[in-house]
Structure 1
Amino acid sequence: MYGGRVAGALTGDWPWTGELFALISAFLGALSALMVRTQSHLLPPAPMNALRCGAAALLYWVLLPFTEPLATLSQVSLREWVLLGGSLGIGMVVGDTLYLTAIREIGVSRALSLACTCPLLTMLFEWVLLGKPASTDLALGCCLVAGGVMLLSSRGAQTEPAEEGKPARPLRLKYGAALALGAAASWGLSMVFLGPAIAHLTTIQANAIRLPLVALLVYFTRVHHRRQDLKQLDRRAGLVVALSGLVGMGLSAFTFLSALRMIGAAKTATLGSTSPVFGVILAVLFLKEEVSVRMLAGIAACMTGTWLVF
């Protein structure tokens, strides 16, 4: 009765709404990465992650009255709470921090392309940990992604465009690629935990619980003892970082999960994995990132490898 009230009010029975939501989610994810990149030289990844989670948490708390009654939380078992905690620790504390660092190291186009291999890694973890049957498409997808990684992480002497008054900083491609793949692996493992963890939770309830917990956990473990990182952050930069969390962890996640409910996992994941295409366009237009044929081939290989498993 309550679960689809928010998305249903927005979508009605319009055709192609699910597909549109999936593409909007992909675009918003790329836009969030662009916003992070513009501020990555001002704030380390840990406080940035805490601020982003805190901002997105506000959105889900606003949406809480439109989902299932809070009394349903009594149905959540101890095992499900433990799995939810493991999911947020692996996916949002570790994975998101690695992703933010990767964006700073190798730019939006490369980091987003590598991190978007997460669906393939989720299926790989399900095969290894849960014994779900593997397919030739999964093996071929892994090979394509491996080739894409090699293309995207080679030529490590490149530099990012210089900012006004600052020298160009070298891009550490292999290091950044490892970070982005680490983020994808963390998110993939987190998704394996998250499935059974939210058996008795709506998406809004799960995120309303997870996001503030992550913000507090990151703050007290990584930020509290380094308050100078926050003191050096001006109001405009803080607003951009918070807005990136609202866009990426809030609106993008909400539209993705709405699409998932309407058109299923396969089509949603396929359309959602177009995010690197939007990322390349935005990075070239606004950040002046250089895009080579080799880089485009790497992005195409990663995207094709991800599509194959659906």
Structure 2
Amino acid sequence: MTGEISALACAFTWAMSCTLTKSLAPRFHPLTLNLLRCLGASFIIWALIPFYPGVQSLFQARPASVIFLIASALLGICVGDTIYIQALKIIPVTLAFPLAQASMPVFTLIAAVLFLGEPFTGGLAMGTALVIGGIYLIAGPQGPAAAFPRPPTQQGNGRGIGLILIASVLWTFSISFLKLGLQGVNPVTANGIRLPVSCLFLIPLAFGRKATGVSSKPAVREIFLGALSGALSFGLGGVLFLLSIQYAGAGKATVLTSCAPLFGLPLSALFLEERVTLRIRWGTGLVVAGIFFLL
């Protein structure tokens, strides 16, 4: 149960980070906020490494594991997230988010069974279907008007959906590489390798962009909260996610961590004053039922 509990704890941590990120999004360019989150997480992880598991763990990792970890960071955090951000410029988040949350677990589950040798059971299939259905009800569009707050073009809509699917495939490869890179490597050490690589990749993208879309410079408090969201998401959440992959397998871990919107409901209602509808309650019930099959 260590892997399953770690995955659910990771989902809760990601929900807290998502609530913070959503409140900060209007104040930052997406690339800048993503870099700030990676820097905050890197600081926490590298402050922890000397005490646990020790600096020597960085030099004890096998070269093959380091290569897989770097590849997972480049594909997932850097390229995958960047493509996802680009898709958000084309299609609304009410379409992009549920599509990503539904497609990535399916792709990862298929890859885990076909390429990583993970078992496929009836309970896993039923739990996955219930969780994905519940996530769609929770985070999906609430009707034609909600799905498209501005009139989309057919070409733009298709391009945006295509980018989401490409990002999901890249995240799937990233998680598969993570499973291979974690062999014999402590999760804290693994994130100590992945996060600095992500920062090095994102720095030229963030500073090389045109300064558009933000009316004024963010306050120091907002910068701190952005770094805190990264410490929660990529730092604590990242370590929990790696633990869940180690103990529960890539397929089950990805499905369970996709429950983040479930934990985000009370946080959004409390801090962002978002309304909890009947559809969201039905979705919550499906997710809880799916978790029962997966545990």
TM-score grouping bracket, smaller chain normalisation: 0.7 to 0.9
Give the equivalent residue in structure 2 for 1:52.
37
Q: Which string of whole-angstrom CA distances, capped at 9 and with x for unpartnered residues, describes residues 155-206 of structure 1?
A: 141289xxxxxxxx6699x899887776665444322111221324322221
Residue 196 of structure 2 corresponds to which residue in structure 1? Answer: 212
Q: Give aligned-pair identity as a percent.
A: 30
Which of 206, 211, 221 is 1:223 aligned to?
A: 206
Q: Find the aligned partners of 2:84 and 2:288 in 1 and give their Cα distance.
A: 18
**TM-score w.r.t. length of structure 2:** 0.72
- How many angstroms apart in 2 are the aligned matches of 1:103 and 1:250? 24
User: Which residue of 180, 196, 202 corresponds with 1:196?
Assistant: 180
Residue type of the partner of 2:145?
Answer: A
In the alignment of these two chains, the number of paired residues is: 282
Aligned counterparts of 2:172 and 2:281: Cα–Cα separation in 1: 24
Distance verdict in 2 for CA 1:178–1:299, change over 3 Å = farther
Q: Shift in Å at residue 65 of structure 1?
A: 0.8
Establish whether residue 294 from structure 1 lines up as the match of residue 279 from structure 2: yes
Which residue of the partner structure matches residue 18 of structure 2?
Answer: 33
In 2, the alpha carbon distance for the partners of 1:177 and 1:285 equals 31
Shift of 1:32: 0.6
Superposition pairs of residues 4-19 of structure 1, within 5 angstroms: none
1:120·1:138 contact (CA, 8 Å) conserved in 2?
no
Equivalent position amino acid for 1:31 in 2:
M
2:101 maps to what in 1? 115
User: Quick check: 1:106 aligned with 2:89?
Assistant: no
Aligned partner of 2:143 in structure 1 is 155
Match of 1:13 in 2: none
Aligned to 2:69: 84
Residues 6-62 of structure 1: per-residue CA shift (max 9 Å, x gap): xxxxxxxxxx99998766544322111001101112223222111100110001110
User: Which amino acid is the alignment partner of residue 47 of structure 1?
Assistant: T
C-alpha distance in 1 between matches for 2:2 and 2:109: 26
- 1:12 maps to none
Return 272-281 or 16-25, whichever deviates more: 16-25
TM-score in terms of structure 1 length: 0.69
Shift of 1:283: 1.1
- 1:249 to 1:188, Cα distance in 2 relative to 1, 3 A: same
Aligned-partner Cα distance in 2 for 1:98–1:141: 29
* 1:282 paired to 2:267: yes
Post-superposition offset of 1:248: 1.8
Residue segments in structure 1 that go unaligned for 5+ positions in a row: 1-15, 161-168
List runs of 5+ in structure 2 lacking aligned partners: none
Counterpart CA distance in 2 for 1:171 and 1:215 is 36
Distance of 1:300 and 1:180 partners within structure 2: 27
Matches within 5 A, 1:299-310: 299-301=284-286, 304-305=289-290, 308-310=293-295
Secondary structure in structure 2 of the residue aligned to 1:158: helix
Equivalent-residue separation in structure 1 for 2:227 and 2:77 (angstroms): 16
The answer to whether the Cα contact below 8 Å between 1:27 and 1:278 also exists between their aligned partners in 2 is yes
Q: Which has the higher contact order (CA 8 A, sep 6+)?
A: 2
Q: Determine whether 1:237 maps to 2:225.
A: no
Letter in 1 for 2:68: L
